[in-house]
Amino acid sequence: MQNGEPQVCERARKTILLGILLCSGVLASGCVVLEEKYNAEKARSLNFQRLLAQEEKRTAELDSEVRHTKAELTEFEARNRELSAQVQVAREQMGRLQEEAEAIREATVLEHKALEDMQRKGQSSSAKPKKTDLPKAASGNRSGGNLLEKPMAAVTEPALIPKVVQGAMHVVKPGETLYSISRRYGIEVEKLKKLNKLPDDIVEIGQKLLVGAE
């Protein structure tokens, strides 16, 4: 009996050691699996963080581009307003220059007409024969008297305003202004603007204007 007890103890010890080894192996394998899962989750988390950092960087770049685009748009709008103002000023100056040129041209035409009238009057007074030198047939003929009177009437007669036909159109020529066109056809400037729906007094060369009431 005493010899059998050590053998039982030895078997029990081996069984316990085997159980401990098995448990250790199971625990070790479980730890390895957990470690692999942890490493996989860690790698996934790092990859997600990198992607998130890239997206944040890209979003910041897009925000910077949007701000830059808005600044350029604001600058372009300011330039557009400035250019529009300059164009408006240039159009107004052009309109004033056209009016001044038209006034100068009309003054020149009137001056030439006055000089021609003076020359004609001087020539007619110097070339007019005396009554005693006129033949009796010429002095007694009414038609002859009318022939002498016609040039003076043509000189003193003012320029007639052309008759405006209903629906008539006028094509703007170089040097013409809305004021000169209104004087030419005997129409008020405001009525001419209303007929053609003009926002201002500026007209362009080649523009067609309605000068007769519809």
The confidence score (pLDDT) of residue 140 equals: 40
State pLDDT tens for residues 69-100: 999 998 888 888 888 888 888 888 888 888 88
Asked if residue 132 is part of any domain, the answer here is no
CA distance 113 to 179: 21
**CA gap 159, 183 in Å, rounded:** 11
Q: Is residue 30 part of a domain?
A: no
Helix (H) or strand (E) segment spanning residue 149: helix 142-156
Helix (H, G, I), strand (E, B) or coil at 168: coil
Any domain includes 203: yes
Residue 7 lies in a domain: no
> Is 213 contained in some domain?
yes
Q: Sign of torsion, CA 182 188 193 196?
A: negative
H/E run at residue 193: helix 189-196
Contact between residue 95 and residue 202 where contact means Cβ atoms under 8 Å apart: yes
Full residue range of the structural domain in which residue 164 is found: 160-214
User: What pLDDT does residue 123 have?
Assistant: 67
Q: How many domains does the chain have?
A: 1
10-residue stretch averages of pLDDT, the chain, 214 residues long: 62 80 77 84 89 91 91 88 87 83 80 76 58 42 39 40 67 91 90 90 90 70
* C-alpha atoms less than 13 angstroms from C-alpha of 76 in its C-beta half-sphere: 6
Quote the Cα angle for 170-172-173, to 5°.
125
Please tell me the predicted confidence (pLDDT) of residue 29: 76
| 6 inside domain | no
Is residue 214 in some structural domain? yes
> Do the domain assignments include residue 122?
no
Q: Give the CATH number of the domain where residue 170 resides.
A: 3.10.350.10
